Structure 1
Amino acid sequence: MLDRVQEARRQIEICNACRYCEGYCAVFPAITRDRAFAGGDITQLANLCHNCRGCYYACQYTEPHEFALNLPGALAEVRADSWERLVWPSGFARVFQRYGGAMVAVFLLATFFVVTWFRLDVETFYDLIPHEVLVAIFLPAFVAPLALIALALWRYWREVGGTRITWAQLRAALRDAARLKNLDGGQGQGCNFEREERYTKGRRAMHQAVLYGFLMCFASTCAGTVLHYAGWPAPYAIWSLPKLLGVPGGVLLTLGAVGLAVLKPKGDRKLGAPGVWGGEMGFVLLLGFTGASGLALYAARGTEALGYMMALHLGSVLTLFLLMPYSKMVHGFFRLAALVRDAQGKGL
């Protein structure tokens, strides 16, 4: 941890002296507001970085220059380390970041077999698992990871010196997060994520598809819960609110995850954190599988495959929930906190 922070500090101080990339993203204006950088400042800058990589290709001090700057890579290492340190238990997070693909497969198999203890010759959702059992399994599996993430965010906020949050600061952060502003490269040309000097907006579009697809799927689940307790249990027709939200949300989530999975191997690994590449790819594939299994579940209505599709989808959702604090899902929470802290630094 200490070596990573020291290396990131060295590079940030050079960037602060140069300031050629000041307009690229939120990181560089934040750098110019300070002259000295404590450990918490480095953690904040690392989580503010969206890894668009434009600064690397614009920099005159990358290798073979003796300064050997690689700011996206240095910040990516600190960022991954902050997730591992601040989320409890840190040991589990560290294992997932390195062996995420294998862990996703193990969790999927385990949760699938748990679900398939119930009978699979079903016609409705609750024929597979009674509603009371479903709540007993999924409510703790959702609330407990959120509690761990809340604890991690509290520790992060203390480390970066955050103060009382105002509505103006939260609104500014949410606006930037909703637009994924910092994935436009600062100049509106998009990310430099792919190798060499090729700017595209593909990565931003895929992130937006995943973000809004996930939010729509979550809203669909909430709508279904409200309808159930209001006396209208599942299954729901295509014109119902759960389906109007869930089907397009599942399509967006699946397409966005597939797009990110295709794009990720094109990126230069040295400009990220190579040690967590497997965990990041495992998380992207899990997101895509969750969206695709939800769509397959809807398509399987009235067929003998319905029970198996239910088991696959519930297993993927349960896996996503349980791994949420340790997978790259947590980066969204940390990044929003970093945007709020940045708004405080701007004096909002």
Structure 2
Amino acid sequence: MPAFMQCNPLVHLLFLLSVPIHHAFAIGIEFTTPAGGATWPAGPITINWTDAGGDPNMADLTTYTLQLMVGGNSPDNSKALQTVGKENAMVSDKGVEDDIQADLAQSIQNGFYLMMTSNTSQGNQVINYSNRFTLIQMNGTTEEAYLSGANKEAGAVSNVPEAQYNVISQPTASATSSSTPSATSSSTASTVTSTASASPSATDHPHSGKSNGETAAIITGCIFAVIGLVSIFIWAVFFIRRARRKRAERSAIEREAALNDSTSDLGKLAFVDGKAELPAHSASSSSSTFPRELTPTTERYEMHGFDKRAEAPSEMVFELEGDIGLYEAGSGRKSKAYDPTL
């Protein structure tokens, strides 16, 4: 220390006062509205801020999230009541307008303040606080812990947490070891504080959705799959109907052939020695090949065969033509034969 300062305490004091003092809020932004100690009713509110003049300054900040706080200065006795404006808005807007809901809490003298969590262009984080102010026309309730914290700190409007600059360490590749992201918190008063949670940012939440090309490919694949299923169904119906039609045609041909066989057997008559002969086989049974003769016996025409006597049914009348005359046969009545010699 210089000799003149050792001998003159007054000069020493003036020297210390001449050293510039770094203000606790001189990083990021500084709130201008609402002012410390101001009174605002529930409903519409306008919030403005400006550059605090420190490092990092407002130009280094990108997006922010703004919250209305109630209570004291520690996480145990303070609470975020509402997000003001939209999340991840731009700090460069220098202001925001929103509505304060009346049922969030009760009115507390200097019991409210604002907390802005913003991101820097380097991926770090800055937290700024406004001075305390009063909200009136509030009709909600406040828990005892937050009410006591607010009353404890309400004596001075500037009695709020200190601004914080949190440096977020980025992972670096190493041949021998791998590093993991870590965060260190430091306040403007050069005191180490606990790590604060960062607000949502583009670097913290990488895009995890599918690209437009992948989505279009998936949709196209689904369309072709549906078309394929419909085509398979149509072909299956076509082949089933075709098979049924083929079976029906074969059945019709078989029935027609059977009918032709039965009618052809009835129509085959032969005359042997002036006698009409009927075939011994039929459509239902073709085991016998011996002919059966129809001869006049006791004034009745009978059909004789090797197995049993057969008579024509009464519902039908058979006429047999030959070289010697016409014969009629009927069941249940007698018929006389025509004899050309008589």
TM range (shorter): under 0.3
TM-score by length of 2: 0.16
Higher relative contact order (CA 8 A, sep 6+): 1
Higher relative strand content:
2
Higher relative helix content:
1
